[in-house]
Copies of this chain bind each other. A is one copy, B any other.
C-alpha cells in the first residue's frame, strides 16, 4: 500500500485517463514543492539576478533585449505554470508534458521556440535520482521547469556572473547549449559513480556470492534499466538538435551541439558496456554459487565415501553369530583397525589423485 505513490511516478500514470488532451494535471510526487522563480538577466555589459515567489513577475522578461534565463521550480501549482507557459507561447499539449514527470524525453520545434524535455540524473549517496526537466529556447530567453529546488546548474550560474565568459558574450542559444551540456555532463558523473560501484561490487561477488549479493545485483540491473530509459531518448533529442537548422541556433554553435551529441553517444555506449558487465557479473555470481555448492558436496561425498564402508565393517564384527572365528583371534580387533585405517588412507589417496581434494 505505502509503495503506491512511488510506483506511479516510476512507470506511468493512468490518473489522467479520460481527461481531454491538454488537460493540465501534475503527475509526480512532489506535491508540496512551492513554486519559485529564479531569473538571471544579462548581456555583455550587465548582469541582474532576481528571485520571486510570485511567478507572474517573470512574465515581463519575455521581451527584454538582454538574454534571460527564467528558471521555474515546483510543478504542483498547475495553473500558474500554465499561465507562464502560455505567456511564452507554449501549446497546451506541451504544458501537459511539462507537468507530467512520467513523460519521456522529447524535442519539439516551432518557429518561435525549441522545446526539450529531459531527465536530469544525479546520485545522493548510493541512490540514483532522476528529475524531470523542461528546457525551452526562445528568441532571447531560456525557460526551464524543474520539479525540485537544487540542480546541476550552479557552475553555469557562476560562469554567467563572470563578464568575460563565453556565455556572457553569446546569445540565448549558447546558454541553451550550456544547460543541456551540463545535464549530459552530469550523466558522466553518475556513470563514473555507477562504474565504481560495479567494480567494487564485482570484487565482492568474486569473494562471497550469497543470495544477498544477488538481490543487490538485481537492484543494480534495475538501476541500469532506468538509466537506459532516460538516456536512450536523450540521444534522439540531442541528435535532432545537432542536425537542426533552426533560426534560433546560430551556425557558430553547430560544432558545440555536435560535440554534445558525441558525449551523448559516449554516455549510451557506457551504459551498454555496463549492461555487458552486468551479464558478466551474473555469471560470476552463478559460478560462485555453484562453486560453493560443489565444494560442500565434495566434502559430503568424501566423508560419506570414506566412512560408509568403514561403518559396514564394524557392523560386521558387531553381529552376534555364535560362530565368527575372527572374533576369537587375539589380534583380530587390531587387524580390523589396521585394515580400516589402510582403507581410509587408500581412499584419501585416490581422491587426491582424482583431484577432489
Q: Which A residues are closer than 8 A to B by beta carbons?
A: 3-4, 7-8, 10-14, 16-22, 91, 93, 103-104, 106, 152, 154-156, 159, 165-167, 177-178, 181-182, 185-186, 188-193, 195-196, 199, 206, 208, 211, 214-215, 218, 221-222, 225, 229, 255-256, 259, 262, 265-267, 269-270, 273, 276-277, 280, 282-285, 287-294, 296-301, 303-305, 307-312, 314-324, 326-333, 336-337, 355-356
Is A206's CB under 8 angstroms from B195's CB?
no
How long is the Cα–Cα vector from A106 to B330 in the complex, in angstroms? 89
20 examples of A-B residue contacts, CB within 8 angstroms:
A11-B270, A12-B195, A17-B155, A17-B185, A17-B188, A18-B152, A19-B155, A93-B255, A211-B291, A218-B280, A221-B280, A229-B269, A289-B294, A290-B293, A293-B294, A304-B304, A312-B314, A314-B318, A321-B336, A322-B327
Is B314's CB under 8 angstroms from A218's CB?
no
Known pairs A11-B191, A225-B276, A321-B336; A91 contacts B255 (CB<8 A): yes
How long is the Cα–Cα vector from A317 to B355 in the complex, in angstroms? 33
Is B93's CB under 8 angstroms from A12's CB?
no
- For the complex formed, measure the closest distance between the CB of A299 and the CB atoms of chain B, giving whole angstroms: 6
- For the complex formed, measure the closest distance between the CB of A268 and the CB atoms of chain B, giving whole angstroms: 11
Q: Which residues of B contact A221 (CB under 8 A)?
A: 280
- Which one, B167, B191, B192, B300, contacts A20 given CB within 8 A? B167
Known pairs A11-B191, A301-B299, A356-B296; A103 contacts B266 (CB<8 A): yes
- For the complex formed, measure the closest distance between the CB of A347 and the CB atoms of chain B, giving whole angstroms: 9
Given A222-B280, A293-B294, A299-B305, 5 other A-B residues pairs in contact with their CB atoms under 8 A: A11-B191, A11-B270, A17-B186, A93-B259, A214-B291
Is B323's CB under 8 angstroms from A188's CB?
no
Is A218's CB under 8 angstroms from B7's CB?
no
Q: Which residues of B contact A316 (CB under 8 A)?
A: 314, 337
- Copies per complex of this chain: 5
Is B308's CB under 8 angstroms from A14's CB?
no
Known pairs A167-B20, A229-B269; A277 contacts B332 (CB<8 A): no
- For the complex formed, measure the closest distance between the CB of A210 and the CB atoms of chain B, giving whole angstroms: 8
Q: Which residues of B contact A277 (CB under 8 A)?
A: 222, 225
How long is the Cα–Cα vector from A10 to B191 in the complex, in angstroms? 11
A154, A177, A262, A355 interface centre (most CB from chain B within 10 Å): A262
Q: A295 — nearest CB in chain B belongs to which residue? A: B354
How long is the Cα–Cα vector from A223 to B77 in the complex, in angstroms? 38
Q: Which residues of B contact A211 (CB under 8 A)?
A: 287-288, 291
Is A12's CB under 8 angstroms from B266's CB?
yes
Q: Which residues of B contact A206 (CB under 8 A)?
A: 215
How long is the Cα–Cα vector from A12 to B274 in the complex, in angstroms? 12
Is A12's CB under 8 angstroms from B315's CB?
no
Q: Which residues of B contact A336 (CB under 8 A)?
A: 319, 321
Q: Which residues of B contact A259 (CB under 8 A)?
A: 21, 93
Known pairs A17-B186, A266-B103, A319-B320; A3 contacts B303 (CB<8 A): no
Q: Which residues of B contact A10 (CB under 8 A)?
A: 195
- Which one, B165, B291, B330, contacts A323 given CB within 8 A? B330
Q: Which residues of B contact A165 (CB under 8 A)?
A: 20
Task: Identify the 3 closest CB pairs spanning chains A and B, nearest first.
Answer: A18-B155, A14-B189, A314-B315
Is A315's CB under 8 angstroms from B323's CB?
no
